[in-house]
Structure 1
Amino acid sequence: MNTDLTIILKNKLDSQLQNDIDNLLRICCDFEPICVSFPFDEESCIYILGYKNNILICMIPLIYISEGLYECSAWTHPDFRRMGFFKMLWSFALKKLPDNSSVQFINDANSILGRFAAKKINALKIYTQHLMSLDLTTIPEYMPDYFFKVLPVSVVQTNKTVKTHKAEPLNTDEKSSHSDLTDTDNSNHYIIKSDKRERKLNLFQGTVVAEFNIINYKSKKDIYFYGFFINKKLRGKGFGYYIFNYILNFLKKSGHRMIYLQVEDSNVPAFRIYRKSGFYVIEAVEYYEFVLRKQNH
């Protein structure tokens, strides 16, 4: 078996290389569709490409994340798998990294072949990241007045003045007006936008019960939800589901349609809240870790 492989390393991709990559991605996707995308425009990426007879048959984009930490994925032409080409490309990639570097290998959770590749390089699975979605138009009206009445008094009382931006309705494309909220305000519950742009669910005189962030995603009516944080005094008491659904109802009334979020499988409480609230997993990506030691050179 001829295992000759020409390996090239590039920091930027010209039009010919992009065409070669597009062609290999199309062939691989036709054979096994995956949700992992190729980082064409990643500034801190080096592209390691393997050619055989002037045809691109395997590739590894290696992204610098931080000192000693890298991220990569891999594609191999279906006709040239299990022939040692990926291992050759991987060995070449490792020689470009400093000792004791950590490489996170990303794989579509539905890809058995990707899982096999991770095993071949002795990478250990560290977690699975789920992308979840929910159609906000399908959720029922949610007015949990009883819930707000049973919150601990120690949590919902404050003597501090909170400088905020009001956001009613919440709109990521518009700037909100300023307002000073104190413990003398009569508002029982409201959502505000702070100077740092995170949204805060406030109850009873401006006490922060939860925080979250949103950005437009795919379209103006679709949003990506992240940075969800619940007041520490309310954790482990079963309040998370009700707080989260109150926020969902607010986002629905603000005119948003689809909501997307990501959660790791290790975050069991959050995952359960999202599933109970009606979210579905639409993509799942596995993260494997390989630590480069000196003896691997």
Structure 2
Amino acid sequence: MNIIRTNSPTQTQKHDLYLLQDTCRNHDSISLTFPMEEDCIYYLLYGEEVLLSAISAFFTENQDYECSAFTAPVHRRKGYFVRLLKELLKETGETDLIFPVDETCPDTLAAIKAIEASFWYQEHIMELPPSQLFKTSHSKDRRYSDKLSLTIATSPEETPVQCVFLLEGSTVGSCFLDFLDHGTYFYGFEIAEPLRNQGLGTACLSLFLDTYFAHPNAKRFKKLFLQVSGLNEPALALYKKAGFQITETLSYYVY
């Protein structure tokens, strides 16, 4: 067995990481991936030039390390993940390690239980289903429907696209759109703090959806999806009210 530590995987190592990742994704029916970012730490465990297990970590703005780990299905429950984790801990010290986990995978849950990581919170991926995509009108709030407008703050060439909400000409909120191959990612939706809890979020989201799906190329946008924390109950309720449905849930564990 050979353990390699690197911040810059070679092309061969990247190929091995992708192969390991895709093998695990197909076996476990999950969507998690390795982050391929420049500031990532990687520990790779090889056996006879075959990548058996790998763990990656990157330092976040929350002053912790977010980690991803994969072990080839036929080589699980042999202690490989724990060996890599011990090597990583020598470098990260007392800093918290955060593991995003798809709880539909029993092997992952067993590994998390074995290291006695603590549950923190959940993140949900929500998607507007086909039955909701091309509604011509969403619920309106009469207090705002005639006073609210939406404008694009970025140039046509820029990505992501920033949408700004105006109430009688004054900025009251914004959101961002990132057009990806598999759909449009809606994120950063925010209402100015003094104006929250007054129905303005619902009105702005309604206006956005009407504007988005009225676009001539709307049918080419594919799905519209977003990510929301399970701790943010008002946002979760708002998106459900607008027709979004949870399609995937990640649980975050702290070690």
Coarse TM-score class (shorter-chain normalised):
0.7 to 0.9
Q: Which residue of 1 aligns with 2:59?
A: 64
- 2:33 is aligned with 1:37: yes
SS in 2 for 1:236: coil
The one of 232, 236, 242 aligned to 1:271: 236
Q: Which residue of 2 aligns with 1:91?
A: 86
Displacement after TM superposition at 1:237 (Å): 4.0
Q: Which residue of 1 aligns with 2:179?
A: 216
Relative to structure 2, which stretch is displaced further, 108-117 or 75-84?
108-117
Q: Which amino acid aligns with 2:210?
A: N
Relative to structure 2, which stretch is displaced further, 195-204 or 125-134?
195-204
Q: Which amino acid aligns with 1:286?
A: S
Q: Which amino acid aligns with 2:75?
A: F
Deviation per CA, 1:46-87: give whole Å up to 9, x if none: 210112343321110122335842111111122222222211
- 2:195 is aligned with 1:230: no
- 2:202 is aligned with 1:202: no
Q: Which residue of 2 aligns with 1:170?
A: none
Q: Which residue of 2 aligns with 1:164?
A: none
Displacement after TM superposition at 1:20 (Å): 2.6
Where do residues 112-261 of structure 1 align in structure 2 (5 Å cutoff)?
A: 112-134=106-128, 135=130, 137-142=133-138, 144=140, 146-148=142-144, 188-194=147-153, 198-204=162-168, 206-218=169-181, 222-255=183-216, 256=218, 257=221, 258-261=223-226
Change (3 A) 1:233 1:46: closer
> Aligned partners of 2:15 and 2:179: how far apart in 1?
30
Q: Which residue of 1 aligns with 2:158?
A: none
Gaps of 5+ in 1: 150-186, 291-297
Deviation per CA, 1:94-140: give whole Å up to 9, x if none: 1122x331211122242232222222223222222112222563323
The one of 8, 12, 24 aligned to 2:8: 12
SS in 2 for 1:148: coil
> Aligned partners of 2:147 and 2:201: how far apart in 1?
19
Is the CA contact (8 Å cut-off) linking 2:149 and 2:166 kept in structure 1?
A: yes
> Aligned partners of 1:238 and 1:287: how far apart in 2?
31
Is the CA contact (8 Å cut-off) linking 2:139 and 2:206 kept in structure 1?
A: no
Once the two structures are aligned, what percentage of the paired residues are identical? Answer: 29
> Aligned partners of 1:232 and 1:276: how far apart in 2?
21
Displacement after TM superposition at 1:36 (Å): 0.6
SS in 1 for 2:188: strand
Displacement after TM superposition at 1:6 (Å): 2.1
Q: Answer with 1 or 2: which has the greater Rg.
A: 1
SS in 2 for 1:100: coil
SS in 2 for 1:128: strand
Q: How many residues matched?
A: 244
> Aligned partners of 1:30 and 1:146: how far apart in 2?
49
Change (3 A) 1:147 1:76: same
Gaps of 5+ in 2: 156-160
Change (3 A) 1:33 1:235: same
> Aligned partners of 1:29 and 1:252: how far apart in 2?
33
> Aligned partners of 1:19 and 1:250: how far apart in 2?
42
User: What CA RMSD, in Å, does the superposition of the two structures yield over aligned residues?
Assistant: 2.7
Is the CA contact (8 Å cut-off) linking 2:45 and 2:51 kept in structure 1?
A: yes
Q: Which residue of 2 aligns with 1:282?
A: 247
Change (3 A) 1:7 1:36: same
Q: Which amino acid aligns with 1:9?
A: R
> Aligned partners of 2:46 and 2:2: how far apart in 1?
5
Q: Which amino acid aligns with 2:13?
A: L
